[in-house]
């Protein structure tokens, strides 16, 4: 059963267009039949209207985005921005860590140390967020969640 559902989801646009065409065909059959010498009776007309309507509803369902499904294009953009933010926060954390190491002991060093620690914490939470996105929607991440580890692409 999962194979059938997978094939339907994969070819849903084609299935939707075919269903729309069948619905349009049922409506055309009713129109041509009504103008013929022997028009369909009321029951036949009602049946053609119901069949055409069901095909059109089925076609609309097939081509529409599934309810609750993500907008993949928008989600890819959001994830790409999230990865860039993660990379930038990682760079800031490294700069703060370098500043912490180069300062003499005192209040300024403690402040820079806290800043470095907080930036590292934010970076790790952003990486966890990207990994969660990759687990839930693996087709959103182009290079995988490891592209947010704070390294530039040419350093990987």
Give the DSSP per-residue string, 35-51. Answer: TSSS---HHHHHHHHHH
Q: Are 127 and 83 spatial neighbours (Cβ–Cβ below 8 Å)?
A: no
Question: In which element (H, E) is residue 22 found?
Answer: helix 12-34
Q: Are 148 and 126 spatial neighbours (Cβ–Cβ below 8 Å)?
A: yes
Q: Are 28 and 21 spatial neighbours (Cβ–Cβ below 8 Å)?
A: no
Q: Are 153 and 147 spatial neighbours (Cβ–Cβ below 8 Å)?
A: yes
Q: What is the pLDDT of residue 21?
A: 92
Residue-wise pLDDT tens digits, 92-147: 888 888 887 777 777 777 777 778 878 888 888 888 888 887 787 777 666 544 44
Confidence of residue 148 (pLDDT cuts 50, 70, 90): very low
CB atoms within 10 A of CB 99: 16
Instruction: Give the residue with greater pLDDT, 27 vs 152.
Output: 27
CB atoms within 10 A of CB 144: 11
Please provide the size of the chain in residues. Answer: 156
Average pLDDT score over the chain: 78
Query: Quick one: average pLDDT of 28-32?
Result: 86
Q: What is the pLDDT of residue 54?
A: 92
Rounded Cα distance, 110 and 15, in Å: 64
Rounded Cα distance, 128 and 53, in Å: 47
Residue-wise pLDDT tens digits, 43-75: 888 888 899 899 999 888 888 866 556 667 777
**18 has a pLDDT exceeding 50:** yes
């Amino acid at each position: 059963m999962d194979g059938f559902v997978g094939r339907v989801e994969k070819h849903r646009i084609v299935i939707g267009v075919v269903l729309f065409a069948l619905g349009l065909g049922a409506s055309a059959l009713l129109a041509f039949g009504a103008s013929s010498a022997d028009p369909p009776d009321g029951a036949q007309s009602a049946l053609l209207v119901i069949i055409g309507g069901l095909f059109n509803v089925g076609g609309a369902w097939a081509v529409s985005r599934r309810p609750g499904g993500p907008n993949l294009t928008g989600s890819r953009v959001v994830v790409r921005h999230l990865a860039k933010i993660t990379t930038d926060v990682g760079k800031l954390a490294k700069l703060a860590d370098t500043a912490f190491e180069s300062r003499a002991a005192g209040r300024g060093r403690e402040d820079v140390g806290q800043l470095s620690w907080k930036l590292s914490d934010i970076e790790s939470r952003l990486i966890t967020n990207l990994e969660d996105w990759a687990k839930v929607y693996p087709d959103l991440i182009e290079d995988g969640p490891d592209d947010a580890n704070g390294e530039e692409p040419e350093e990987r």
